[in-house]
Amino acid sequence: MHTTIERELDMTLVHPPDRRFPVPTRLRYRTDDPFAVHVDFHLDAARPVHWTFARDLLVEGVFRPCGDADVRVWPAGARDAPAARRVVCVALSSPEGDALLEAPAGPLAAWVERTLRLVPPGEECADADLEAALGALLGGGLGG
């Protein structure tokens, strides 16, 4: 049986030089896809914009800059600043364009922590039936 952890979160789209737009966002973590985080950004479009990237990027990005290429994550704001003013920045890059979003650090970190309690780091493959997966990959069997 697989479990899903979801979180609705209001992120902010930062549009240089000084414009900001609220972006309702849904974070989703599924135990049947334990390395990934699925994010839907609900913009003024018919369908949300969907991104999938490594959970490790959020795990590390809450504390220090990480990622390269398409997804980069880093904390912003002084550590001694009030919790409501700390954010985690998420920079996304695609052929269609780039986006910089800010997520409230506290709620994001709490959601990430829930995913880590559900599937601790290093245990992502614990439920995987590796022999069956390898057999399917090799065309049905390992016989000789």
pLDDT in tens, 66-82: 998 899 999 997 666 67
User: Which pLDDT does position 142 carry in this prediction?
Assistant: 47
Q: Which two tokens stand for residue 68?
A: 């390269």
* DSSP class of 131: H
Q: Which two tokens stand for residue 113?
A: 């922590």
- The backbone torsions φ and ψ at residue 66, rounded to the nearest 5 degrees and listed phi first, read -155, 170
For residue 142, is it within any domain?
no
Which residues span the domain enclosing 130? 4-137
For residue 113, is it within any domain?
yes
CATH assignment of the domain containing 116: 2.30.31.20
For residue 28, is it within any domain?
yes
pLDDT in tens, 39-97: 999 987 788 999 999 999 999 999 999 998 899 999 997 666 676 679 999 999 999 88
- The backbone torsions φ and ψ at residue 121, rounded to the nearest 5 degrees and listed phi first, read -55, 135
For residue 95, is it within any domain?
yes
For residue 49, is it within any domain?
yes
Q: How many domains does the chain have?
A: 1
For residue 34, is it within any domain?
yes
